[in-house]
Amino acid sequence: MYGKFQKILQDELANIENLGLYKRERIIGSPQKAEISVGEGDGLLNFCANNYLGLSDSERLVEAARKAMDSRGFGMSSVRFICGTQDLHKQLEASVSEYFRTDDAILYGSCFDANGGLFEPLLTEDDAIISDALNHASIIDGVRLCKAKRYRYANADMAELEKCLREASAQRLRIIATDGVFSMDGNVAPMDEICRLAEKYDALVMVDESHSAGVVGPTGRGVAELYDLYGRIDIFTGTLGKSFGGAMGGFTTGHREIIDMLRQRSRPYLFSNSLAPALAGAGIEMFKILNESDALHTRLMENVKYFCREMMAAGFDIKPTQSAICAVMLYDAALSQEFARRMQAEGIYVTGFYFPVVPKEQARIRVQLSAGHERAHLDKAIGAFVKVGRELNVIKAVDGERQ
């Protein structure tokens, strides 16, 4: 029975291969950090990880995970409401809500699960969800699982958002859903204007902080800190898999009644195993690290400023960024793959992104900076970008330009 379907798949995969768009996994044989080992080759400098604060190989987190396993075991073998809740889970939820200054928090296996399980338990066909066009796939899927009426506005377009809010005025409830930082462009949602419009049209506000928490704001605590919006954003979702240690786990945090309802009805929470004790223990320790000092965030922002300034000076087309994401625009999908391949030969590990991950003819190299990068790492990466950029006619050599 599989034969006909197999031929369809083989033809489509061959087409992807012929277009130069086939995704191949490169195997890392070291901890995730600024310098990694890939395959059997020499070490590469990694510029495509979500390891914004450089905590993925933190000895403190490794030790905290080890202690949690020693005292609480390896796994939970249960969902939370049966016999899957340990004291570590409650402590981590308290740490999340303290960090975001909310009433309570609920843990998930990932932020994809948090977003996927958010809307359906809270909203009905009498309600409306108004979503930014560039929201993460997990928000889009969560919206699809909900019966609420759907509206969409162009990325960060406040005039179009207001139009959607006016059109949704007949619905019982309205919720605006947005990423805090948009993962492919690196821009921050205009949360001050979003909250102003939400208050004008009596709407709730939800923001996914996956790429913004730990990064934006004076001390990196996300969009509420950046725009001073504590108490005006109703729901935050986020991940432990990026700035917050880079492992696994997601969360939703906000008003107490919202979190209580999610505990009762959110399907990814009710029907998935609890977060492993090691992840919970390391998460608790991670928030202790962030509460002790802003040094990691400060170093990250210094790295971002330096890298973007030097890349623009070299002639690259860089999207404006307020985050740790620097989109180096190439526009052509096949070019982005060839560029990434040549960068690896230069010792720099980056990835080319193209449709459907980004819009057609918007292919790019997405560079992600980390507090774990040293200035020498940045200079080597910039030098490699310039060399490959000239080879592929992306930038031109100019007298006095970086050699």
* Catalytic machinery residues: 183, 211, 242
Q: Is residue 165 classed exposed, middle or buried when 0-12, 13-18 and 19+ CB atoms within 10 A define those classes?
A: buried
Spell out the alpha helix ranges (H) of 271-332: 277-292, 295-313
Q: How far is CA 232 from the centre of its chain?
A: 22
Ranges of beta strands (E only) in 209-350 are 235-239, 250-254, 325-331, 348-349
> How many angstroms separate the CA atoms of 161 and 172, rounded?
18
- Give the Cβ contact number of residue 60 at 10 Å: 14
> How many angstroms separate the CA atoms of 290 and 206, rounded?
24
**DSSP labels, 205-249:** EEEE-TTTTTTSSTTS--HHHHHT-TTT--EEEEESSSSS-SSS-
Q: Give me 91's structure tokens.
A: 């402590």
> How many angstroms separate the CA atoms of 72 and 78, rounded?
14
> How many angstroms separate the CA atoms of 238 and 210, rounded?
5
Tokens 């108490």 belong to which residue?
A: 231
Number of residues assigned to the chain: 403
349 bridge partner residues:
46
Tokens 């992600």 belong to which residue?
A: 368
Biggest CA pair distance of the chain = 69
**How many helices and strands (H and E) does the chain possess?**
16, 13
> How many angstroms separate the CA atoms of 98 and 321, rounded?
28
